[in-house]
Amino acid sequence: MNAKKIFAMLLAVVFCLSLAACNQQPSEKKVYKVGICQLVKHEALDEATRGFRQALVDKFGEDGVVIDEQNAAGANDTCTTIVNNFVSQKVDLIMANATGALQAAYNATTEIPVLGTSITEYSVALELENFNGTVGGNISGTSDLAPLDEQAQMILDFFPSVKKVGLLYCSGEANSQYQIDVVKAFLEGKGVTCTEYKFADSNDVAMIAEKAAADSEVLYVPTDNTAASCAETINNVVLPTKTPIIAGEEGIAKGCGIVTLSISYYEIGYKTGEMAAQILTGEADISEMPIAYDPNPVKKYNKALCEELQINVPSDYVAIGE
């Protein structure tokens, strides 16, 4: 074989290899589809959703995840509609923000991973027996539970001679009832008389809050989504009576309370997003992921309300917004 033929064959091989390289398609980057169902719009839940979204963007970039965020405006039936749509769209993961959203997702799918956030107690929300910290199946998430005995002790620390405490919460929220039961037991064990004041929904918040304020020396409002969304209404009713409120979380304290021992909703949302990233990439099995908690709740106070009610706040409290 002469040199010309060898050269021609080499050119042909190079040409074929070039064609093959041109015809190869670059591997497509996986884009994840995530659905967010948030029960209602208020500051705490908004912060949890914001933290969740940021964690996913930090992990996958703006173009690596498509997030469909839906708000149920406080209606559990709407949560069901939202998550059923997510299931029909075959999203890769559902984030359920607040108890009503989690319950809807829990009932809608056993296959798509579901992460809850802003859930006070999973065993109560999902009616689990022998709960050991891990839900199992396709459910996990984060909790917004702060130490309830320490919140109850705040009442005694600020008002050591208190005899009558009103417990104001939404009767439709099982996790609120759980918190009330714990706080009530603690206070009654200290000789304080506790009376429960339940409102069914936002329509009767003002009326029930007015009665609670008139009958009580101090009010306790737990982490409660309806109360959070109606904090301004509660404040407008309670403030004229100068009845102080100890709140279960920062958003409620900002709206109508004097102090709280509160977790960071942004941080638990961000942690939920980190858990989602691990599930989506296959780094973790959701059935084995325990519920996560914010390990560092912070004592915070509403500066304006404390000044108006002439309440002295210890130096280890942080002003909300500072």
Per-residue model confidence as pLDDT tens digits over 8-58:
555 555 455 554 444 544 456 789 999 999 999 999 999 999 999 999 999
Domains 32-144+264-290 and 148-262+298-319 are alike in CATH topology: yes
Instruction: Give the span between the Cα atoms of 72 and 310, in whole angstroms.
Output: 39
Every domain of the chain and the residues it spans: 32-144+264-290, 148-262+298-319
Question: pLDDT at position 24, please?
Answer: 45
Specify the fold of 148-262+298-319: Rossmann fold (3.40.50)
Give the mean model confidence (pLDDT) for residues 127-146: 95
CATH class of 32-144+264-290: alpha beta
- Grade residue 184 by pLDDT with cuts at 50, 70 and 90: very high
The per-residue b/e assignment along 172-193, b for 16 or more CB within 10 angstroms, e otherwise, is: bbbbbbbbbebbbebbeeeebe
Give the mean model confidence (pLDDT) for residues 230-248: 96
pLDDT exceeds 60 at position 105: yes
Q: How many helices (H) and strands (E) does the chain have?
A: 13, 13
Give residue for tokens 């589809």: 33
CA within 13 Å, CB half, 249: 30
Mapped onto helix, strand or coil, the DSSP state of residue 317 is coil
pLDDT in tens, 249-285: 999 999 999 999 989 999 999 999 999 999 999 999 9
